[in-house]
Amino acid sequence: MFTLRPERPEDGPAIDALLDKSFGPGRFAKTAYRLREGVDCIDALSWVAEEDGALRGTIRYWPVKIGGTPGLMLGPVAVLPEHRGRGIAVALMNRTLDEAKALGHRAVILVGDEPYYARVGFARLPAGRMTMPGPVDYARLLGRDLSEGGLAELSGAITRAL
């Protein structure tokens, strides 16, 4: 059975390999990466799933600004192809979303498939509520509260947290 733990510096190469395998080298061209450039992920929310001493899955979060207000963005999340469908990603998300809540974050956004992320409480944002700094399918811009009303407080352009 896999276990979850915070990412360590020495996990870096294995995480990069996992992300390359899951998203391909073109991943850096995604609009979400523009929000990550030059910004460090949030250490306390960057976790991995491990089993038999090997990495099975990764999750990271980035700080962003939404209409100038600090916000939280989930992603990337990825699981090794041969270990998908075992609940690893849902476990990583549930654990770290609890952690984010405990740290006082009131809402979280992400870009991803709504049918999947609905499993952990995400829903499409109202049209025009937030804008991304590049091309994105707005049907994939999702959010959820971590504290009641947290998401509704946020609107406007999503920009880098610098």
Ligand X SMILES: CC(C)(COP(=O)(O)OP(=O)(O)OC[C@H]1O[C@@H](n2cnc3c(N)ncnc32)[C@H](O)[C@@H]1OP(=O)(O)O)[C@@H](O)C(=O)NCCC(=O)NCCS
Residue among 27, 30, 34, 84 that touches ligand X (CB under 6 A)? 84
Q: Could you please report the per-residue DSSP string of 33-67?
A: HHHHTT----GGG-EEEEETTEEEEEEEEEEEEET
Span near ligand X by CB under 6 A; candidates 36-44, 65-73, 82-90, 126-134: 82-90
Told to check if 78 binds ligand X by CB under 6 A, we report yes
What residue type is assigned to position 108 of the chain? V
Specify the residue, 43 or 113, whose C-beta has the smaller distance to ligand X: 113
Span near ligand X by CB under 6 A; candidates 6-14, 36-44, 85-93, 153-161: 85-93
Q: How near is the Cβ of 104 to ligand X at its closest, in Å?
A: 25
CB-based contact 118:102 (threshold 8 Å): no
CA-to-CA distance for 78 and 147, rounded, in angstroms?
A: 26
Q: What angle do CA 154, 149, 147 make, to 5 degrees?
A: 105
Q: Which two tokens stand for residue 48?
A: 């991995």
Told to check if 24 binds ligand X by CB under 6 A, we report no
Told to check if 116 binds ligand X by CB under 6 A, we report yes
Residue numbers of the site for ligand X (CB under 6 A)? Answer: 22-23, 77-79, 84-90, 112-113, 115-116
